[in-house]
Amino acid sequence: MKTPIYDMLIKGGLVIDPALGFGQEAAIFVKDGKIAAIVKESDVSPKDMASIPVENVVDASGKLVVPGLIDMHVHLREPGREDEETIITGCQAAAAGGFTSICCMPNTNPTIDHQETVKFVLSRAEQADAHVYVVGAITKMLKGEELAEIGDLVNAGAVAISDDGNYVQNPEIMRRALEYARMFGIPIISHAEDYFLCANGVMNESYQSTRLGMKGRPGVAEEIAVLRDIKLCGFTGGRLHIAHITTAGAVKAVRQAKADGIDITAEACPHHFTLTDEEIGKEFNTNLRVNPPIRTQKDVEAVIEGLIDGTIDCIASDHAPHADEEKDVEFDQAPSGMIGLETTLGLVKIALIDKGYLSWADAVRKMTYNPARILGLPAGTLEVGTAADITVIDPEKKWTVKKENFRSKSKNSPFIGWKLSGKIDITILGGRIVYRNK
Amino acid sequence: MQLRSRHLLGLEDATAEEITLILDTAETFREIIERPIKKVPTLRGITVLNLFYEPSTRTRISFELAEKRLSADTVSFTPGTSSVKKGESLRDTVQNIEAMKIDMVVVRHSSSGVPYFLTQCTQSNIINAGDGAHEHPTQALLDMFTIRRKYKKLKDLRVVLVGDIKHSRVVRSNIWGLKTMGASVAVCGPSTLLPFEVEKFGVDIFTDLDKAIDGADVVNIMRIQLERQQAGLFPSQREYTNLFGMTRERLQLLNKNYTIMHPGPINRGVEITNEVADGDSSVILEQVTNGQAVRMAVLFLLSGKKEEE
């Protein structure tokens, strides 16, 4: 038998792969950018070791080795706002956050509502530090009026469709989208928030908005939208994914829909399970202006409960870069969104894992296997033969979020100054080290 | 005793001692504006910028006169004729003006939190002259000053705030201030104009004006804007007037020595009838006079404070 010559070895770490149901110390061999073998540490022969260049032997002792993380909700801003983020810088940020696959949302300029834009994004991403998957638009220009050429989008590579940033207000259009997308087996990602109930709102409608005299976006706007989409999903037999779920009522609705056999999934963002709207009045920090808004403690608890019981399948960042000058304005004039790729894992660690809500395996499942399954991505596992997308995590490493350390082109994070734990040590994309913590 | 902060951003965090200090100081200035020569050299050498991003008559003139009567140098800013029209940001506008060496900024803006924002990007002492629907501290202080002058106290008085509670910064500052001073506060308006979880302010809530003002000492009436009707928050001004208009008949429900207040501008015949607005117990114009004294007091108390304590 011929001795295999490997390109890379990650040894000494605790390997966690929810897709394989694997969770033990093991060594991973990489060959030609793919996972070549996972073996017991004791089975690593000196001969195999010797065949690998020293710089490609990763000592992961005391660390976690997991499939490359997947963020199914990212805004890359290219084309149109390359001053805020480009596909290249967004992927650098992804790598620093441990993500080897990200899905970019279509609200660029021009909108990703046409196959040429999908192709443009994919071509730009060829040399990037992460795999980029495209979410195409549901409707042309995200206007909610006419279906985009969904078949063309899928043929060009789109893995889902969404009018993210906008709710498809017209139920007839949403019905047809769910029916039509069914042909292609892709989910519709719904930004569920009734437009009329939220018009001009800048924060959650609550005692805090009352106190600050700000126009509120009520939680019921999300709940009504989620309930409508669930009904339409059940009626059409389509596939529905609820983006950035935030309210107790919406979580309850998704839980019930799942119990009723509706083909529905959901994601939650770190800022929605780590922050409450009380934060806004402290400094009027415009980085806390997000859409949907940061809500109340009761909602935070419901989102965490949804993550624990599996109602919420995925954790996604909703990475939304904005230039400094756009955020350095009056609160109600700032655009919505915060960056998140580089802080997601640390926030998951301190808010969910450290508090005993999720195990590492649960968290990794929600950031690898589950999004891959929902979107049909060839990622999210360390199975032999798949791309060697691997993330090495230093699970107890304490670190402070610093503006100057962000790789994202924009720095709009309310978490600057936060002390987190759980740091990405190394990110490997197709057998290539794309990030190494120094 | 002095104020803890070198800014006046709102009354939510103000202590009873601080409010009392401002009101006591205002008494002195109230006397000065009754003199034939209404000018003192207190703020000589101090330059105050009046930064009014929103239209305002009485607050802007009141501040300007207060500054002039304290011998401050003043400059007023109107965004309609400034570089704001060319797209200049608030930060750049203020920092450019500050580079011309000003000491204090009086700011009125439609966005909640702008006074706080200015404390982060300038060195000047900031006075909030109304930010969005958040706070309007000097209005609430002058309201309290006016009430205290009449009753010699604030504690245990029953004050009812009537009208558009949801969008009123005057209401919020009044609630914070009055409650801190021990008054009992109620709000009354259409349920569509009562903001979410308003009960957490610790006030009594009414949608029936007759019940709200029953046994009240002070009724402070807030303006209703036509645009609220257009936004569907109440069906018509006629219906609003029937349900929430302050009329002569309703005055019978109040305590004997009652007071009618209104921060202005008044929609006569809508939220208040002429005879109530101009009646013996109306202190609407006195509020305006007192406003100057209160603003002089605030300018005086903050002018000497350079460092955050």
Per-10-residue mean pLDDT for chain A, 438 residues long? Answer: 77 97 96 96 83 91 98 98 98 98 98 98 97 98 98 98 98 98 97 96 98 98 98 98 98 98 98 98 97 98 98 98 96 97 98 98 98 98 98 98 98 98 98 95
Give the pLDDT confidence score for residue B100 in this predicted structure.
Answer: 86
Give the span between the Cα atoms of A350 and A358, in whole angstroms.
Answer: 11
Give the pLDDT confidence score for residue A94 in this predicted structure.
Answer: 98
Give the CA-trace dihedral at A332, A335, A341, A347, to 10 degrees.
10
Closest to A285 (Cα-Cα) out of A224, A351, A338: A338
By CA distance, what is A203's nearest residue in B?
B112
Say whether A80 sits in a helix, a strand or coil.
Answer: coil
Question: Are the C-beta atoms of A85 and A128 separated by less than 8 Å?
Answer: no
Give the pLDDT confidence score for residue A47 in this predicted structure.
Answer: 81
* Cα-Cα end-to-end distance for chain A: 40
pLDDT per position as a tens digit, B128-162: 999 999 999 999 999 999 999 999 999 999 999 99
- Give exposure, B52-67, as e/b (b: 16+ Cβ within 10 Å): bbbebeebbebbbbbb
Question: Are the C-beta atoms of A339 and A321 separated by less than 8 Å?
Answer: yes
Say whether A257 sits in a helix, a strand or coil.
Answer: helix
Q: Residue with structure tokens 């100054």? A: A417
% of chain B beyond a pLDDT of 70: 96
Two tokens at A101?
């696959």
Distances (CA, A) of B55 to A258, B78, B81, B265: 53, 9, 13, 12
Give long-range contacts, CB 8 A cutoff, 24+ apart: A431-434: A431/A7, A431/A8, A431/A30, A431/A31, A431/A32, A431/A33, A431/A34, A431/A387, A431/A388, A432/A33, A434/A95, A434/A100, A434/A129, A434/A130
Give the pLDDT confidence score for residue B94 in this predicted structure.
Answer: 86
Give the span between the Cα atoms of B239 and B231, in whole angstroms.
Answer: 15
Question: Are the C-beta atoms of B188 and B229 separated by less than 8 Å?
Answer: no
Question: Are the C-beta atoms of B271 and B263 separated by less than 8 Å?
Answer: no
The whole-angstrom distance between residue B34's C-alpha and the CA centroid of its chain comes to 22
Give the pLDDT confidence score for residue A42 in this predicted structure.
Answer: 86
Give the pLDDT confidence score for residue B187 in this predicted structure.
Answer: 98
Interchain pair A330, B200: CB under 8 A:
no
User: Would an 8 Å CB–CB cutoff place A350 in contact with chain B?
Assistant: no
Q: Is the pLDDT of residue B280 over 80?
A: yes
Least confident of A14-18, A348-352, B207-211, B234-238: B234-238
User: Would an 8 Å CB–CB cutoff place A145 in contact with chain B?
Assistant: no
Q: How far is A211 from chain B (nearest CA, A)?
A: 7
**Chain A interface, mutation test: which of B111, B121, B166, B198, most A Cβ atoms within 10 Å?**
B111
Question: Is residue A318 annotated as part of the catalytic site, yes or no?
Answer: yes
Question: Are the C-beta atoms of B101 and B48 separated by less than 8 Å?
Answer: no
Note if the pTM is more than 0.90. Answer: yes
Interchain pair B111, A212: CB under 8 A:
no
* Nearest neighbour of B112 by CB, restricted to A207, A213, A218: A213
User: Would an 8 Å CB–CB cutoff place A82 in contact with chain B?
Assistant: no
Q: How far is B145 from chain A (nearest CA, A)?
A: 23
Question: Are the C-beta atoms of A129 and A157 separated by less than 8 Å?
Answer: no
Give the span between the Cα atoms of A378 and A380, in whole angstroms.
Answer: 7
User: Would an 8 Å CB–CB cutoff place A211 in contact with chain B?
Assistant: yes
State mean pLDDT over B16-40. 96
Beta strands in A239-356 (DSSP E): 240-242, 264-268, 314-315
Burial group, residue A140, by CB count within 10 angstroms (0-12, 13-18, 19+): middle
Chain A with chain B: Cβ pairs closer than 8 A? 63
Say whether A424 sits in a helix, a strand or coil.
Answer: strand
Angle between the A248-259 and A297-309 helix axes, to the nearest 10 degrees? 20
Q: How far is B81 from chain A (nearest CA, A)?
A: 20
- Give exposure, A263-280, as e/b (b: 16+ Cβ within 10 Å): bbbbbbbbbbbbbbbeeb
Question: Are the C-beta atoms of A437 and A394 separated by less than 8 Å?
Answer: yes
Distances (CA, A) of A6 to A45, A56, A415: 12, 10, 40
Interchain pair B111, A332: CB under 8 A:
yes
State mean pLDDT over B280-307. 92
Annotated catalytic residue within A17, A318, A389, A394: A318
Closest to A71 (Cα-Cα) out of A391, A388, A372: A372
User: Would an 8 Å CB–CB cutoff place A287 in contact with chain B?
Assistant: no
By CA distance, what is A199's nearest residue in B?
B231
Give long-range contacts, CB 8 A cutoff, 24+ apart: A38-42: A38/A382, A38/A384, A41/A11, A41/A12
**Chain B interface, mutation test: which of A198, A210, A329, most B Cβ atoms within 10 Å?**
A210
Cα-only R_g, chain B:
19
User: Would an 8 Å CB–CB cutoff place A200 in contact with chain B?
Assistant: no
Q: Phi, psi at residue A274, to the nearest 5°? A: -120, -20
Chain A CB contacts of B89 under 8 Å are 325, 328-329
Question: Are the C-beta atoms of A114 and A130 separated by less than 8 Å?
Answer: no
Q: Is the pLDDT of residue B73 over 50?
A: yes
Angle between the B58-69 and B137-151 helix axes, to the nearest 10 degrees? 80
Least confident of A107-111, A125-129, B112-116, B300-304: B300-304
Our CA angle for A323, A329, A334, nearest 5°, is 65
Interchain pair A213, B12: CB under 8 A:
no
Residue B121 forms beta bridges with which residues?
none
Average pLDDT along chain B: 94
Chain A CB contacts of B112 under 8 Å are 212-214, 284, 331-332
Q: Please report which confidence band the pLDDT of residue B309 belongs to, taking 50, 70 and 90 as the band edges.
A: very low
Two tokens at B294?
């209160």
Q: Is the pLDDT of residue B307 over 60?
A: no
Chain B CB contacts of A325 under 8 Å are 89
